């Protein structure tokens, strides 16, 4: 039994892999991660940009698609769907053995649609209908415009990974979208699943930068503490939201908890432990999706202990101190959301440019 197995069996947290490459599907690398205890997989436009741009493994399929008349963008989605479909097959045994708790593979809608509710709904439906898999998560950004799309998709019985969450207030709104989506649906709810992806290390980087700019000893003493504290308070919101009579009425119809998922959990600051955002966010009914480097580090020297609810009071006090020094956490979250959406848009556009150049070279 690996430490990843223990993380799930003893502490109720599901470790997922935040990466995907076609070579891993064919070489057995992804299966190796599953054998070590990985219980799900997430992807995003940046992951696919790196995977497709850095590899020749996609060239044959891409060339065939272009020669058969596909546009560059349509060809991209076919490449993505092929990888996701293969990953879904590998993860399906975990889905079956866990009764639908884990074994999910996440694919994100076009990031350029993050501010367009209607287009997001259409794109999510299209991907879900194309891939048609019980263990598929469609990723929808948790922007203001994404909230009604999340509710609509849940009401249609589709499973959703809400991504790009940076604030506690928005997280609470996402939970409301999930619950109200379930309430809009009749009958048994057990086939619907969802996670809410709360981004961790990006918050730390931004807040630390602002604390450094303040420069006082009190500010510097608070560096490296905001992201974990915010994650812990998100867990408090989760516990409170899913313990009400309103929720129990849905649970009686088979509704599943919308588990908080800790994303962006690689440590950006080399001065901090490389497993910081795993070690300090362990607790029941949660998911942590980790890049392969962070997974390897946790396998090597991670620390197992229930830490997520060690002290909600201390976590709240840290955030209060940070804001008292002049760091506006609402402004931080809004900035990070804008940057997150923009980053995924840029990755998507860059990949289309790369594929256009590849199409030209393959046709010579």
Active site residues: 139
341: Cβ contacts below 8 Å, ≥ 6 apart? 111, 114, 115, 141, 143, 164
The answer to whether 37 and 63 are in contact (CB under 8 A) is: no
User: How many whole angstroms separate alpha carbon 246 and alpha carbon 164?
Assistant: 26
Compute φ and ψ for 25, nearest 5 degrees.
-70, -35
Q: C-alpha distances in angstroms, 107 versus 142, 178, 197, 300? A: 15, 19, 13, 29
- Tokens representing 124? 């999510």
- Tokens representing 194? 């969802």
- Tokens representing 112? 């350029």
Compute φ and ψ for 285, nearest 5 degrees.
60, 40
Distance of CA 299 to the CA centre of its chain: 20
Alpha-carbon torsion angle 21, 22, 26, 31, nearest 10: 30
Q: C-alpha distances in angstroms, 178 versus 97, 145, 162, 201, 291? A: 25, 14, 10, 25, 27
DSSP letters spanning 75-139: HHHHHHHHHHHHHHHHHHHHHHHTTTSS--EEEEPPGGGTT-HHHHHHHHHHHHHHH--TTEEEE
The candidate with the shortest Cα–Cα distance to 142, out of 106, 167, 124, 123, is 167
Q: Per-residue b/e over 261-276, b at no fewer than 16 CB within 10 Å? A: bbbbbbbeeeebbbbb
Q: C-alpha distances in angstroms, 187 versus 155, 156, 182, 184, 252? A: 11, 12, 10, 10, 11
């Amino acid at each position: 039994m690996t430490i990843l197995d223990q993380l799930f069996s003893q502490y109720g947290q599901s470790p997922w892999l935040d990466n995907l490459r076609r070579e891993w599907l064919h070489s057995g690398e992804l299966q190796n991660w599953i054998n070590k205890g990985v219980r799900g997989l997430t992807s995003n436009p940046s992951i696919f940009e790196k995977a497709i741009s850095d590899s020749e493994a996609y060239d044959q399929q891409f060339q065939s698609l272009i020669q058969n008349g596909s546009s560059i963008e349509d060809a991209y989605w076919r490449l993505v769907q092929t990888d996701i479909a293969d990953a879904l097959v590998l993860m399906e045994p975990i889905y079956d053995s866990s009764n639908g708790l884990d074994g999910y593979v996440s694919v994100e809608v076009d990031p350029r649609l993050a501010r367009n509710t209607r287009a997001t709904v259409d794109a999510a439906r299209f991907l879900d209908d194309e891939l048609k898999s019980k263990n598929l998560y469609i990723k929808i950004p948790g922007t203001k415009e994404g909230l009604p799309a999340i509710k609509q998709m849940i009401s249609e019985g589709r499973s959703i990974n809400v991504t790009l969450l940076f604030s506690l207030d928005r997280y609470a709104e996402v939970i409301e979208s999930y619950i109200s989506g379930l309430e809009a649906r009749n009958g048994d709810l057990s086939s619907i699943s969802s996670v809410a992806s709360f981004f961790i290390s990006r918050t730390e980087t931004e807040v630390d930068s602002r604390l450094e700019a303040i420069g006082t000893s009190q500010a510097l003493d608070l560096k490296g503490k905001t992201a974990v504290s915010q994650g812990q308070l998100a867990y408090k919101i989760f516990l409170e939201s899913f313990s009400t009579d309103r929720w129990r009425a849905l649970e009686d119809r088979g509704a599943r908890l919308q588990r908080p998922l800790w994303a962006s959990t690689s440590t950006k600051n080399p001065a901090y432990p490389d497993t910081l955002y795993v070690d300090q966010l362990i607790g029941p009914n949660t998911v942590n999706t980790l890049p392969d480097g962070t997974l390897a580090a946790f396998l090597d020297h991670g620390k197992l202990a229930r830490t997520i609810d060690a002290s909600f009071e201390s976590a709240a006090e840290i955030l209060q101190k940070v804001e008292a020094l002049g760091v506006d956490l609402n402004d931080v979250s809004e900035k990070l959301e804008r940057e997150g959406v923009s980053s995924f848009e840029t990755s998507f556009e860059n990949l289309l440019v790369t594929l256009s150049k590849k199409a030209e070279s393959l046709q010579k």
